[in-house]
Amino acid sequence: MSQNIGFISTRFAGTDGVTLESGKWAEVLEASGHKCFWLAGELNKDPANGILVKEAHFQHAQNIWINEQVFGRKRRNAAVTDLIHDLRAGLKTRLARISCIKSVTAAFRLFRPKTCSLIQTF
């Protein structure tokens, strides 16, 4: 039975390990009759099967600021937490645009049986 499969990462571009390995998985899955979709902050995939979300990239200004505020610290302030939640909400909205995902909540749990598989990479 064919499934729609979504890949999510900060970047699917260039020759880094995540991009190369995800591409290999996609080739195997598509050769088996599945359809692959992509969501990333940097994306060099077919636009018909992908969603570019610049805020998802690890070098996006907001993500750099968050990293500066949290790494090496034991607590984060409310402004950082609020921004993290705002970014999460925006990513969930864009993720819902991938036609195979009927439930964004289920998608973030990584799998929705019989509807869509979702592979999340870091």
**Predicted confidence band of residue 5 (pLDDT cuts 50, 70, 90):** confident
DSSP secondary structure of 58-121: TTSHHHHHHHHHHTT-S---HHHHHHHHHHHHHHHHHHTTSTT-S-HHHHHTTEETTTEEEEE-
The H or E element spanning position 27 is: helix 17-31
Would you say 90 and 60 are in contact if contact means Cβ atoms under 8 Å apart? no
On the question of pLDDT at 24 being above 70, the answer is yes
Lowest mean pLDDT among 22-26, 89-93, 95-99, 110-114: 110-114
What is the total count of domains within the chain? 1
pLDDT at 18: 87
CA-only gyration radius of the chain, Å: 15
CA distances from 60 to 5, 10, 57, 112 (A): 26, 10, 5, 30
Q: How many residues does the chain have?
A: 122
On the question of pLDDT at 118 being above 80, the answer is no
Selection from 44, 28, 97, 64 nearest residue 36 by Cα:
28
| Cα–Cα distance for residue pair 24/28, rounded to 1 Å | 6
Question: Which amino acid, one-letter code, is at 71?
Answer: F
The 10s digit of each residue's pLDDT in 49-92 is 888 889 989 999 999 999 999 999 999 999 999 999 999 888 88
pTM, to two decimals: 0.73
Lowest mean pLDDT among 6-20, 53-67, 86-100: 86-100
Domain that holds residue 34: 4-120
- Per-residue pLDDT averaged across 39-54, rounded? 88
